[in-house]
Amino acid sequence: MTDESTTTPRTDSDPGKEEEKTAVPGQSARPVAEQEIRKDEAAGPEEPATTAEGTAPAADAGAEDDGPDVPADAAPARTASGTGFGAGAAAVVSAAFGLCSLTGTSVGQMLHARKELIGQIEASSGGGGDQIEAYYSVPWHTAALLNGIFALLAILVGGLLLALYAQRSGTRSWVKSVALAGLVLGAVGLLVSLGMYFDLFANAPELPGAGS
């Protein structure tokens, strides 16, 4: 019995257990690899979601960079203001033309003086002709003609403004009033100019003894 005990080696562990221990690392490597593959597969479809989430703020930022929304009524309002500004200026010009047709202008005075000077030169040089016509009638008719031109301009500008903007609700009331004033002044100035040109208000002066 002593020999048998010495010849048989003593082992602390069972050979079957050793085989299980050696087999465990090989078997455990496969599940780890499978778990990593599953993780990669699970992470794959999530990447577009993250990219979509990442691109969504960029799209929103691009939409925010477009600036504040402009109201649809802004452009018509600006156009209406620009049109009212031009109409008001034209109405003032029409009224000024009408006033000039009644009171005369510096240009009319210069033409009047020029015609008088020409008449004096012709009379002093013995050119003949009617002195009253040269001294009075020609300068008078020249001034009347120029005033009539200003009256026609006032009538045309004022009448055109009233025809275009009288029915528009967006036109300011003072523009219509000034345009109407220019039209009325032009009409009165035209009547006065015609009376001056055709000597309706007063006859041309005559030299003493010219009728005998």
pLDDT value of residue 129: 59
Residue 77 has pLDDT above 80, yes or no: no
State both tokens at 13: 């562990």
Nearest-angstrom CA–CA distance, 117 and 123: 10
The tens digit of pLDDT for each residue in 152-199 reads: 999 999 999 999 988 888 788 899 999 999 999 999 999 999 999 998
Closest C-alpha to 145, from 175, 119, 111: 111
The tens digit of pLDDT for each residue in 99-137 reads: 999 999 999 999 989 998 888 888 787 655 577 888 888
Helix H or strand E encompassing 56:
helix 15-64
Q: Which residue has the higher pLDDT, 37 or 77?
A: 37
Nearest-angstrom CA–CA distance, 136 and 194: 17
10 Rama class: left (phi>0) / alpha (psi -120 to 50) / beta:
beta
Helix H or strand E encompassing 145:
helix 138-165
Closest C-alpha to 81, from 163, 158, 172, 167: 172
Residue 4 has pLDDT above 50, yes or no: no
Binned at pLDDT 50, 70 and 90, residue 23 comes out as: very low
Binned at pLDDT 50, 70 and 90, residue 22 comes out as: very low
Express as a percent the part of the chain with pLDDT over 90. 35
